[in-house]
Structure 1
Amino acid sequence: MSFETLLTPERIARETGAGFWRDKVITDFLDEYAEATPDKVAFVDSRRQITFAELRAEVDAVARGLLAKGIGSGDVVSFQIPNWIEWIVVHYAATRIGAVSNPLIPIYREREVGFMVELARSKVIVVPQEFRGFDYPTMIEGLRAEWDFGPEMVVLGTDSWDQLRAGGDDAADLAALRPDPNDVTLLIFTSGTTGEPKGVMHTHNTMVAANDPLPGRLGVGADSVLHMASTLAHLTGFLYGARLNVQNGATCVLQDVWDAGTFVELVERHKITYTSAATPFLHDLVTAPNLADHDTSSLVRFCCMGAPIPRTMVREAKTLLPGLVVVGGWGQTEEGLVTIGIPGDPEEKVIETDGYPWPGMEIRVVDPFGTVAPAGQEGALQVRGPFLFVGYAERLEMARELMLPADDDRGDWFDTGDLAHIDQDGYLRISGRTKDVIIRGGENIPVAYVENVLYEHPGIASIAVVAIPDPRLQERACACVVLAPGWTELTFEQMQAFLAEKGLAKQYWPEKLVLLEDFPKTPSGKIQKFQLRAEVAE
């Protein structure tokens, strides 16, 4: 399968000529460090660890196994694996032969997985037998009966996985299959704001470029020990958990289930120096009951993504972890990380901004007429640069509509859908959203998508999902419901049972239900969600 993209020869020439695109793929780095530091530990997970040389051997074996199954350049390999080394192996093996990686978040269920794999037309899907009590093979078998195509299922820990790991033709010249760095390597889904998730496409060049500035900005190098507890199937985990260490010859410790106490123990055991996670993870760290009982002095960087960092949390981190530098960052699946703080920033920059642009990334704010706004004025945030995606799979026109022509030769601007202002020093501050999305602990809840599912309930005449404030997660979702004629009751438990029946991922479920006689509306009949939010918050 070959995906149509927005990538043009002009963009390739511009980013390559400027030095941002280095024409490298992630397996180039794996090969480099497997030769230079073969016995160095590359990854550690909750079950085992693996050196760079061992990782390359496993990757090559699985790559040959994929070839034996008929997987080739441009074919999609889906995998719904926790933060285990097998996730890394499958992704790198797919890269080795030019296939497209389609990582799926482990908590996704029938509705999300069914839509995503069908749009991707995946040739194979790799899942665990069980994780956190859920039976993945049974879910996939049920979906396979509904699909009009037949992706092969490989289950970790079974004969199908052993067969894949056994490889295929040892004579296969894997080096000859190295993909073009401008080919699509990643198909990763982002929360849908128009009723369905969007398949974001990235190339090898966009993803390698997105990690290149991090060593210079945050001091990450071969001696660093990185940590990742966010799912590797989220772009934060993908970039800074699955790839950053390999691009720098460092070690990464993977945590498959977040628990602050376990993280504290991992920091002491492995001398972790850097982690990147949503802001609530920092809250959990500074309140971990065993923090004072362990040596966490090695931890010097904590990058908070997706939500503001409360002032009290920054100060508490300074007190409890005096060697730790906390920085905030902002980005989207479409463009990776766009801004991040600079170590040494004053406290006001840490808590009141979302950081300073990465090298090569440009940001601007425009007013409703498209005029660039002065410093400090709120407007629509637009972004451009070498990390920008190359389109939405099978929805290219949707991506094209968000690309705004520029009056120079440095590329089009992408409309992020966020409201922001940029201060006089060039630091970004996200102030709101033009899209209807709730951000719960740094993770997007696609409001329209959830509302569409709830509209299928026969007892619901009208539904509006709104954000309610939360001290740890910043926002939680509340379902405001007007019942259909003839219905007198809908309980929170009944709503949850309905969402489970529909196969909606549990992290999207509203955490509160409010029944109303009617909604506040504009004269044209549009629901006034700002009034709903105020009423529910009270």
Structure 2
Amino acid sequence: MNESREPSWPNIAAMTASAGERFADRTAIVDGDDRVSYAELYAEARRFGAALVAAGVEPGDRVGIWAFNGRAWIVSLLGLYQAGATLVPVNTRFKGREAADILRRARAKVLVTVTGFLGNDYVAMLAGSGVPLPDLRTIVVADGEPSEPAVPWDAFMAGATPEGLAEVDRRRAALGPDDPSDVLFTSGTTGTPKGVLMTHRRTMGVGTDWVAMTGLTAGDRYVLVNPFFHMFGFKGGILACVAAGATMLPQPVLDVDRVLGQVAEERVTVLPGPPALYHAILEHGDRRRYDLSSLRVAVTGAADIPVELIRRIRDELPFSVVVAGYGLTEAGTATSTSPDDDPETIATTVGRARPGFEVRITDADGADAAQGEVGEIVLRGPTTMAGYLDDPAATEAVLSADGWLRTGDLGRFDEHGCLRIAGRSKDMFIVGGFNAYPAEIEAMLLEHPDVRQAAVIGVPDARLGQVGMAFVVPRSPALDAAGLIAWCRDRMANYKVPRLVELIDELPLTESGKVRKNALEARAADRRG
């Protein structure tokens, strides 16, 4: 275990103030026609904090943000910390009832949202949810036309007063590293979402470690594709940029043409994202007409990255640093590869423990698994969560008194000490008594030259209990299901071979680029009738 370094600031508000001074004239945000310096960003954040004070927000109160990536999201985030408040981000894919449930459970007092994103009016969706929100006092519309009871952004910001600004400065000085910073709700694909409670020290630690992992500097220009409601976009994106003084280029939606255009026009150097982003760039028909020579850092992560994709990223794109990592909402980034690792290591592993982290593989009894054996990934480190919001039983089930977190993910260490992800424990299925790991089967399917993408789930079987079903995006029209199953039988143990294969045009993905396995399970159930 390498020693981690404590963040240099007592809280995120102080880190923002420091950036406003150290990088005053550097461009902090490029968002459409808007160009905001770090000095201007800090001033806007202070005003937003003072407006929260005027709205009755007290230290520790929770502020929700339900909006697309953009300038207002960044200002709201950094501003709520100036007021000593706690962030509650809301997934932009959520419907009204889902969002209202998060805001109700978090007892959010203020919500920053939009009314015109991809045809969605989030204020109307919330009003029609049927969920009472007794704690929600103020709804601020950052983009779009507000309707009662919401207030427009400019009107809300006008509430900042000299007295409010002075109060903000007092709160910033009083805010400690162990005060709450954010409550990120897990995706909830296996049940009710849980609120992951973090502190300023922990959350800053994710951002500053991301800077160390990538070598991010004040000269970098970072395209923010990952959604801000997700840990990657918020902590590995906004906070990493603020810590380093890098320029943020937020993307409301993933539009590869827009991204390529910005890379060329803005001389972008840092472009993290899911494997699907790099695949889309490599397959883009007009890629070569864009000047991508400025690109320096690529960061991705998944259990099923094809080795050939990493080779192509290195060979066909100008990145000098390509890193894969493993992280989760409850712990931040726990492991990563190194820039000097070979393509196979980057594609098939998530590297080694980050500084300050310890990682173990445990068997069903909680003992350390034998070398090379698959078991649950258990870890401990400086950015592990404080616990689940208002749920001590759920916290106790995964977090030990001495700080070890049961991740629910399955993995093993290879002969070089690198962690290989085998999937989620909930995704594992048992075929005639044998444990089958979807990520392992998916990786093998991706070795077929005509397979572009693959996702595997377990489905009921009368004889074996469960068998594998593969959803495959073909690279070639020559691929057929029967032929692929036959190919698998030559290369996999029989219990791993998918008994069913469905060829589809695209896999259903979350906004962070992960496959929505619950959607595939529903599709498989419909197919069974």
1:168 to 160, 171, 196: 160
3-state secondary structure, aligned to 2:238: coil
Letter matched to residue 97 of structure 1: A
Residues 1:262 and 2:258 are matched in the alignment? yes
Match of 2:471 in 1: 469
**In the alignment, is the contact (CA less than 8 A) between 2:298 and 2:319 conserved in 1?**
no
3-state secondary structure, aligned to 2:13: helix
Letter matched to residue 282 of structure 2: V
Equivalent-residue separation in structure 2 for 1:97 and 1:104 (angstroms): 20
**In the alignment, is the contact (CA less than 8 A) between 1:46 and 1:255 conserved in 2?**
no
Equivalent-residue separation in structure 2 for 1:150 and 1:404 (angstroms): 34
From the superposition, tell whether residues 51 and 306 of structure 1 become closer, same or farther in structure 2 (CA, over 3 Å).
same
Alignment of 1:354-433 (within 5 A): 354-404=350-400, 411-433=402-424
3-state secondary structure, aligned to 2:128: helix
Equivalent-residue separation in structure 2 for 1:513 and 1:220 (angstroms): 43
1:123 to 109, 120, 123: 109
Alignment of 1:324-339 (within 5 A): 324-339=320-335
**In the alignment, is the contact (CA less than 8 A) between 1:77 and 1:124 conserved in 2?**
yes
Moved more, 346-355 or 119-128: 346-355
Deviation readout 1:306-340 (Å, 9 max, x if unpaired): 34321121222223214443321111100011111
**In the alignment, is the contact (CA less than 8 A) between 1:144 and 1:151 conserved in 2?**
no
Deviation at 1:153, TM superposition (A): 1.4
3-state secondary structure, aligned to 1:261: helix
Match of 2:199 in 1: 203
Match of 1:434 in 2: 425
From the superposition, tell whether residues 215 and 120 of structure 1 become closer, same or farther in structure 2 (CA, over 3 Å).
closer
**In the alignment, is the contact (CA less than 8 A) between 1:186 and 1:201 conserved in 2?**
yes
From the superposition, tell whether residues 24 and 291 of structure 1 become closer, same or farther in structure 2 (CA, over 3 Å).
farther
From the superposition, tell whether residues 508 and 230 of structure 1 become closer, same or farther in structure 2 (CA, over 3 Å).
farther
Q: Give the structure, 1 or 2, with the largest relative contact order (CA under 8 Å, sep 6 or more).
A: 1
1:219 to 199, 204, 215: 215
Give structure 1 stretches of 5+ with no counterpart: 1-14, 406-410, 448-463, 474-505, 519-538
Match of 1:408 in 2: none
Equivalent-residue separation in structure 1 for 2:367 and 2:131 (angstroms): 52
Alignment of 1:52-451 (within 5 A): 52-143=38-129, 146-157=132-143, 158=146, 159-172=151-164, 173=166, 174-178=168-172, 179-192=175-188, 194-404=190-400, 411-436=402-427
Please, what is the CA RMSD of the aligned residues? 2.9
For normalisation by structure 1, the TM-score amounts to 0.77
3-state secondary structure, aligned to 2:272: strand
**In the alignment, is the contact (CA less than 8 A) between 2:60 and 2:86 conserved in 1?**
yes
**In the alignment, is the contact (CA less than 8 A) between 1:209 and 1:387 conserved in 2?**
yes
For normalisation by structure 2, the TM-score amounts to 0.78
Equivalent-residue separation in structure 2 for 1:133 and 1:235 (angstroms): 25
Match of 2:507 in 1: none
Equivalent-residue separation in structure 2 for 1:255 and 1:516 (angstroms): 36
Moved more, 115-124 or 214-223: 214-223
Q: Percent identity?
A: 29
Deviation at 1:301, TM superposition (A): 1.4
**In the alignment, is the contact (CA less than 8 A) between 1:63 and 1:167 conserved in 2?**
no
Give structure 2 stretches of 5+ with no counterpart: 429-437, 443-454, 458-465, 476-515
Letter matched to residue 20 of structure 2: A
Equivalent-residue separation in structure 2 for 1:155 and 1:134 (angstroms): 13
Match of 2:499 in 1: none
From the superposition, tell whether residues 102 and 368 of structure 1 become closer, same or farther in structure 2 (CA, over 3 Å).
same
Where in structure 1 do 4 or more consecutive aligned residues deviate above 4 Å?
A: 436-440, 506-511
3-state secondary structure, aligned to 1:404: coil
Equivalent-residue separation in structure 2 for 1:372 and 1:69 (angstroms): 52
3-state secondary structure, aligned to 2:268: coil
Match of 2:511 in 1: none
